[in-house]
Every structure is written in C-alpha cells, then in structure tokens.
C-alpha cells in the first residue's frame, strides 16, 4: 500500500469550483473519509485521485510517484463504486478473475490470487454463483474482492454502502472496517453520512462548497470543530447554535440575549469570546452536554419545549432559546411535555463559541 498526497487540487466546470485548492495527505495504511453534503466535491476529488477526470490545477502523488499526468490504469489504484458494477453473466470467480485476465496473467496465478482474495473476504463458497444469486452484502464483498485481486496501492470507494438497506449498511460498515484493519490498506472513502465517517475512518476530511474545512481524527473534529459548518454537520442530532451578544462587564464577558437572560462566561470562555471580531457570537452546544431543569436554577436559561422524541434508550428534546432550536438528550424516565417552560444549563467546559461574522471557532490561545 502507499501514501496518497493531494497538493492544491482544483477542478472547475466553467465558473463552478467543484474542488477548490484541496491539499491532503493520506498516510500509508490510513482510512480517510471524505465527508460532506451532496455537491460539496467529494466524488470529484476521488475521481481526480483516480485520474478519471482531468485536473484544472494541482498535483497528486501515490507513493513516491507524481501521478498527476498518468492514466487511471497506470496509477495502481482500485475503485469500489456504489452500484458494484459486477458483470451479471459472469460467475463470482470470473468477476474476480476478469481484471487479472485483462492484465494477461498466467491462469494458475489468476487462480491463486482469486482464491486468496475470496478467502480474505470469506466468499470462497460463492465462487460459482452469479451476482443475481447473491445478497446485497455478498455482492459488496465480491466488489471488494475484485478490487483486492489487483493488489492496488490504494482503494478508492465512492459511497459503496448507499444502495444497501439500513441494517445491512451497519453490517457492511463493520466489514469494510475489518477489511481495512486486516489488510492495512490505504483507503479513501467518500460518504455523505457523517456517522459512517465518524465510525469507520482514522481521519476525516470534512468538505463544503469544494473547500476542505477540517482534516483530523473523528474525535478531534467532534471535540474541536473549526467552524460552524463542521460543528453542525458532524454529530447527530446536530450541535445547537444560538446567536447571542457578548458584553464586557468588569473582567468577564457576559452573553446576553434580546429575551433578557444573561450568561456570565467562565474565565476560559471569556478569553475565547475576547477573540471575536464583533460582539456577535454564536454559542454551540451538543445535546449530551446540556442539562434540563424543571425549575429556575443558577446559570440556567429559560426555554420552551417544542418536541419530545423518545427513542427507547434516550429521549431527545427540542427546546427554543431566542428562536434557535436547541437539542437536548435526557434519560427515558424524565417526564417533559411540549410547550412546558424548562431551564437549560450549559456545561461551560464543553460549550463552543463561534465568531458570528467569520463563523470560525474562537480559541483561547
Ligand atoms: N461533469 C460535471 N459538469 C458540471 N458540473 C459538475 C460535473 N460534475 C460535478 N459537477 C459539480 O461539481 C460539484 C461537486 O460535485 P460532486 O463532486 O459530484 O459532489 P459530491 O460527490 O460531494 O456530491 C457540484 O456542484 C456538481 O454539480
Ligand atoms: Mg458524490
């Protein structure tokens, strides 16, 4: 396997920047998810790595080789697509063998490689079947097997699970993760599903509007989103974002709202708030870091309950603060009713503050 490097990669269609100066290093053996909403440039980025479309500017390296001007077939990469693209009239064996036959490998060598890949993926018992005689999950494994026999330097996968039903997706998610661990493969995996990215990837590259927003481990992206887009895109239910005013009072900064409540910030959050370019700040909080009180409590802000959604393990409550929806999770035995007034307490060690103008996260140092 090999390391994959993108340097200032740009792809334009007319005046549209599908990919805008993306630079990214995927280390040898790393699983990187390209994640973001539909149209943000994930597929285009992957296709540029594969060489399937011409690049407007920038460079791509696979291992030590500059592959920017190489044909896809000379880049030693394997792609796994959403629709598997299996040959319906060929047996599983021949589906796996086909890329090797194209390379004119000797028959016994093809046989050896196909059987090794089938063993890795636990599909040996399916080798004589046709694709239509396989379940969605089995077809997925054959598609992986066909990529595997080519002994590529990296695997590129574009939403490979999106055709599967919800249950199978979760199962195949685990399978692909296992595949990565067993092979120590370099994988670039495109998905619009933030949960897939968070659960599977060593690192995630969060994209929006053709730009790379943040590139880090899922844990770091979750704990320290660099801006409001990343903060609201990663995590479910989404991080709540409440626009407030920051007012200096003595040594401290106090968040104030048109509704009349005030929230004095801790010393650390005061330092962050002072970094803002304006007095307009956005307070961010994840559902799991917010506490609800039935009665007024110190530091708690009044809010009106909008919806209550029990899921069994956990109940999600949506409340309104200053017109902003705030997601809160509570244990299933907590009784809360729509339209009730509750008091919301934020954990100051775990809130996020953003500059409302630039949308960037405010950091203390
Ligand atoms: N062949 C094309 N011609 C014109 N615009 C394109 C083409 N392919 C992609 N785009 C545009 O580039 C942007 C990124 O597309 P894409 O990479 O497919 O997004 P994603 O995979 O993240 O959904 C979109 O705005 C899309 O409309
Ligand atoms: Mg796409």
pLDDT at 151 (0 to 100): 87
pLDDT on residue 168: 83
Expressed in angstroms and rounded, the spacing between residue 183 Cα and the centre of ligand 1 is 31
Mean pLDDT of 282-294: 96
49 lines ligand 1 (CB under 6 A): no
Q: Where in the chain do CATH 3.40.50.300 domains reside?
A: 4-227
Strands, E assignment, the chain = 4-13, 16-26, 31-35, 57-62, 65-66, 77-80, 154-158, 187-191, 203-208, 211-216, 240-249, 252-256, 262-264, 280-285, 290-293, 301-310, 315-321, 324-330, 341-346, 352-355
Cα of 64 vs centre of ligand 1, distance in Å, is 29
Q: What distance lies between CA 2 and its chain's CA centroid?
A: 22
For residue 126, report the distance from its CA to the centre of ligand 1, in Å: 37
Q: What is the pLDDT of residue 365?
A: 73
Ligand 1 atom 6: residue of nearest CA: 13
Sign of CA dihedral 65, 66, 71, 76: positive
For CATH 2.40.50.140, list the domain ranges present in the chain: 237-355
**163, pLDDT greater than 90:** no
Q: For residue 83, what pLDDT is reported? A: 66
Confidence (pLDDT) at 82: 67
Stretch 340-359: mean pLDDT, rounded? 96
Instruction: Indicate if ligand 1 lies below 6 Å from the C-beta of 34.
Output: no
- Other Cβ atoms within 10 Å of 167 Cβ, number: 9
Distance 117 CA to ligand 2 centre (A): 28
15 Cβ below 6 A of ligand 1: no
Ligand 1 centroid–CA 211 distance in Å is 13
The pair of structure tokens assigned to 139 is 């077809």
User: For 67-83, what is the mean pLDDT?
Assistant: 89
Average pLDDT over residues 218-237: 97
Q: Which of 259, 252, 326, 253 is CA-nearest to residue 289?
A: 326
Beta bridge partners of 330: 315
For 77, residues 6+ apart whose C-beta sits below 8 A from its C-beta are 49, 50, 62, 152, 153, 154, 155, 156
Packing angle of the helix pair 136-148, 166-183 (nearest 10 deg)? 20
Supply the pLDDT for residue 229. 98
Looking at the DSSP bridge assignments, the partners of residue 62 are: 4, 65
Cα of 194 vs centre of ligand 2, distance in Å, is: 14
Q: What is the CATH number of domain 237-355?
A: 2.40.50.140
119-154 confidence digits (pLDDT tens): 988 899 999 999 999 988 888 889 889 988 988 999
Residue 16 pLDDT greater than 80, yes or no: yes
Closest CA to 47 of 15, 81, 7: 81
Q: What is the phi/psi pair of residue 158, to 5°? A: -110, 100
11 lines ligand 1 (CB under 6 A): no
Asked if 36 and 191 count as a contact pair (C-beta separation under 8 A), the reply is: no
Pocket lining: 18 vs ligand 1, CB cutoff 6 Å? yes
Which CATH number applies to 4-227?
Answer: 3.40.50.300
Please tell me the residue having the least CA distance from ligand 1 atom 8.
Answer: 44
| 81 pLDDT above the threshold of 80 | no
Mean pLDDT of the chain: 94
Beta-carbon count within 10 A of 322 CB = 16
Residue 333: burial class (beta carbons within 10 Å; 0-12, 13-18, 19+):
exposed
Residue in 36, 44, 47, 50 to alter for ligand 1 test, most ligand atoms within 8 A of Cβ: 44
Tell whether the model's pLDDT for residue 326 goes beyond 70. yes
**Cβ(333) to ligand 1 under 6 A?**
no
């Amino acid at each position: 396997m090999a390391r994959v490097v993108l340097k200032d990669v740009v792809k334009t269609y007319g005046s549209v920047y599908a990919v805008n100066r993306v630079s990214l290093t995927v280390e040898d053996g790393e699983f990187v998810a390209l994640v973001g909403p539909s149209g943000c440039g994930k597929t285009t980025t992957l296709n540029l790595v594969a060489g399937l479309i011409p690049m407007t500017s920038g460079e791509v390296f696979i291992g030590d080789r500059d592959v920017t001007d190489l044909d896809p077939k000379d880049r030693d990469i394997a792609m796994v697509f959403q629709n598997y693209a299996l040959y319906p009239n060929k047996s599983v064996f021949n589906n796996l063998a086909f890329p090797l036959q194209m390379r004119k490998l000797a028959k016994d060598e093809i046989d050896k490689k196909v059987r090794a890949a089938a063993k890795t993926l636990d599909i040996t018992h399916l080798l004589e079947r046709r694709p239509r005689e396989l379940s969605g999950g089995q077809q997925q494994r054959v598609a992986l097997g066909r990529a595997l026999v080519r002994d590529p330097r990296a695997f590129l996968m574009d939403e490979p699970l999106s055709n599967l039903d919800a249950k199978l997706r979760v199962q195949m998610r685990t399978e692909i993760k296992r595949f990565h661990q067993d092979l120590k493969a370099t994988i670039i995996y495109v998905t619009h599903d933030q949960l897939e990215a968070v659960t599977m990837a060593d690192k995630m590259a969060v994209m929006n509007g053709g730009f790379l927003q943040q590139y880090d481990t899922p844990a770091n992206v979750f704990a320290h989103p660099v801006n409001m887009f990343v903060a609201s895109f990663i995590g479910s239910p989404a991080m709540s974002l409440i626009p407030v005013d920051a007012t200096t009072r003595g040594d401290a900064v106090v968040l104030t709202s048109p509704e009349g409540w005030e929230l004095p910030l801790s010393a650390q959050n005061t330092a962050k708030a002072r970094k803002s370019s304006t007095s307009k700040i956005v307070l961010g909080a994840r559902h799991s870091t917010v506490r609800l009180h039935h009665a007024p409590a110190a530091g708690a802000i009044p809010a009106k309950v909008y919806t209550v959604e029990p899921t069994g393990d956990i109940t999600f409550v949506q409340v309104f603060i200053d017109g902003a929806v705030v997601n809160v999770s509570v244990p299933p035995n907590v009784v809360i009713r729509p339209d009730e007034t509750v008091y919301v307490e934020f954990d100051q060690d775990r809130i996020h503050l953003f500059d409302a103008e630039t949308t960037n996260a405010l950091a203390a140092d």
